[in-house]
Structure 1
Amino acid sequence: MAKVAFLGLGVMGYPMAGYLAKAGHEVTVYNRTQAKAEAWVKEHGGTAAATPRAAAEGAEFVMACVGNDDDLRAVCTGPDGALAGMDKGSVFVDHTTVSAKVTAELYDVAKAAGVGFVDAPVSGGQAGAENGQLVVMCGGDAEVYDRAAPMIDAYSKLCKRLGESGAGQLTKMVNQICIAGLVQGLSEGLHFAQKAGLDGRAVVEVIGGGAAGSWQMVNRFETMLDDEFDHGFAVDWMRKDLGICLDTADENGASLPVTALVDQFYKDVQKIGGGRWDTSSLIKRLRALDG
């Protein structure tokens, strides 16, 4: 059992930290909204800290799952940042989806302080976090990853190191690129089925067992057909992620025409008030175009 800090108790971090507590680790949590940290302690035990540094002091492992590059810098650096309170030989694990640029920056800062750093973005959404079934894609020094992996196992079904620092974030970009095109295709397929007068559920029952089947189809087709999107991975978050993908593609020369197009479709969803809707709301955009 280890002394662990968890920074960020959003829809992902809250249950992830809970699984660490359930595994028997001594967990200290930090959240920008203190009431959320206090609620977590009331539910899971452990301790709430007033700053990232206070949470990280004495911890063998510090996990973070916050919003974006700036949020990650805020909890890591500065006099109240986690790295200021971490001991040499401890490990920082970043579960935030961020740019490879900030990962490289913080890896260097951590290394200079004698702290290991693993970039470890996740896939599986809120349901995956709540069920302890996340897929975690990691980058970083092999020895540091080997130490962190047993901790990550508390809330994951698969955890794998893809390479040196930044490889985890690059792999998450691949994940989001694949999802973007897939959800648009699923939206168009279901929209077409409805316009053609077909029973969408019956259609999915048939095609879901063939080459068209996917996680998105299995887990989202019913709510898409029912026009329900108040759940899941928000459009605002997806646009943040796709922005990272497109910026990185500009740097490495990759062509992402479909990703760029779907990013604009998500922008349309935001314009009709769907920033917090699930990413499967792309079908709602198609319905809006029909008037």
Structure 2
Amino acid sequence: MSDSSTVAFIGLGVMGYPMAGHLHRAGHKVRVYNRTAAKAEKFVADYPGAAWFSAPAEAAMGAEFVFSCVGNDDDLRAVTIGDGGAFAGMSVGAIFVDHTTASAEVARELHAAAAERGFGFIDAPISGGQAGAEKGALTVMCGGDPSRFAKAEPVIACYARACRLMGPPGAGQLTKMVNQIAIAGLVQSLAEALHFAGAAGLDAENVIDLLKNGAAQSWQMENRTKTMLAGEFDFGFAVEWMRKDLAICLAEARRNGARLPVAALVDQFYAEVEKMGGRRWDTSSLIARLER
């Protein structure tokens, strides 16, 4: 990018750390905050010229764009409107872009709080996993004001393969819910397919090598089949995170009247995986409960 902005990034987890790195490599002046200071210290060591601060408000002060990627609704409220939150340090006309997977309700709440203070808020949950964040190839689903989005989109492009405004505040989070609902059913189906192939005496890997050329092909089939067959789950998107996301989906469905029988069932299956000790296993570990 030829234009350089002062940006703040709050939350340097497995997603936020590489995303903030892409912003730095693109030439932006990056300011960071992380709840665990050691992570922020490592970031400024890895990216000379970046600066870290002990509170979100301090990191946000003077930034044209403030990004966040934290755990849940409560974490998001804490780093925005809580004591020392970013909103206290943001300038009129700045834009806050939130990449947390959270509820549409909190997105609307924070959009209203930002508007009262004279700056913008965009809910912008992401899909693509850690690998997508590291490669700068995330899919970003946004909700908010079109004019604010138009300003933020070129900066988001530093780590996005696709970025689209899906509607008013909360629409980004609703779109992410659609994504998680689709993935939940897909991973369970793939787990059952692999389990069935093994029970039928087939070479499951050979079966998938053929089927991935047809209508059953999916990202999960391409990227998770071998590890599922090997029983390797110590990576990727954790079961506890997926259960958090599905809880958001099911709560929203109760509000809007949508029926999600498969998503509710898969959430129960993930609860079984957690009881097996798989709280931090990758979501593809659904196959483990079939083969235990």
Secondary structure (helix, strand or coil) at the match of 1:38 reads helix
The within-5 A match list for 1:126-141 is: 126-141=130-145
Q: Does 2:6 match 1:3?
A: yes
- Alignment partner of 1:208 out of 205, 209, 212: 212
Q: Report Cα offsets for 1:29-65 as digits up to 9, x if no partner.
A: 0000000000011001200100000000000000000
What does 1:37-56 correspond to in 2, within 5 Å?
A: 37-45=40-48, 46-56=50-60
| Cα offset, 1:115, TM superposition | 0.9
2:20 is equivalent to residue 14 of structure 1: no
Alignment of 1:84-95 (within 5 A): 84-95=88-99
Q: Pick from 220, 224, 227: which aligns with 2:228?
A: 224
Query: Which of 71, 92, 111 is the aligned partner of 1:67?
Result: 71
The match for 1:29 among 32, 43, 47 is: 32
Deviant stretches of 4+, over 6 Å: none
In the aligned structure 2, how far is the partner of 1:126 from the partner of 1:205?
A: 25
User: In the aligned structure 2, how far is the partner of 1:109 from the partner of 1:51?
Assistant: 19
Q: TM-score, normalised by structure 1?
A: 0.98
Q: Which residue of structure 2 lines up, in the alignment, with residue 283 of structure 1?
A: 287
SS at match of 1:171: helix
Amino acid at match of 1:70: D
TM-score of the two chains, using structure 2 as the length reference = 0.98
CA positional deviation for 1:78:
3.0
Larger mean CA deviation between 94-103 and 70-79 belongs to: 70-79
For the residue of structure 2 that corresponds to 1:232, the secondary structure is coil
Whole-angstrom CA distance in 1 between matches of 2:241 and 2:190: 20
How far off its partner does 1:198 sit? 1.1
Q: Would you say 1:156 and 2:160 are equivalent positions?
A: yes
Structure 2 SS opposite 1:24: coil
Q: What is the CA–CA distance in structure 1 between the aligned matches of 2:169 and 2:100, rounded to whole Å?
A: 14
TM-superposed deviation, 1:203: 0.4
Q: What's the Cα RMSD here?
A: 0.5
Count of residue pairs brought into register by the alignment: 288
Q: Which amino acid aligns with 1:10?
A: G
Unaligned runs of 5+ in 1: none
Quote the residue 2:245 is aligned against: 241
User: What is the CA distance between 1:188 and its match in structure 2?
Assistant: 0.1
**Overall identity of the aligned pairs, in %:** 62
CA distance in structure 2 between the partners assigned to 1:26 and 1:177 by the alignment: 37
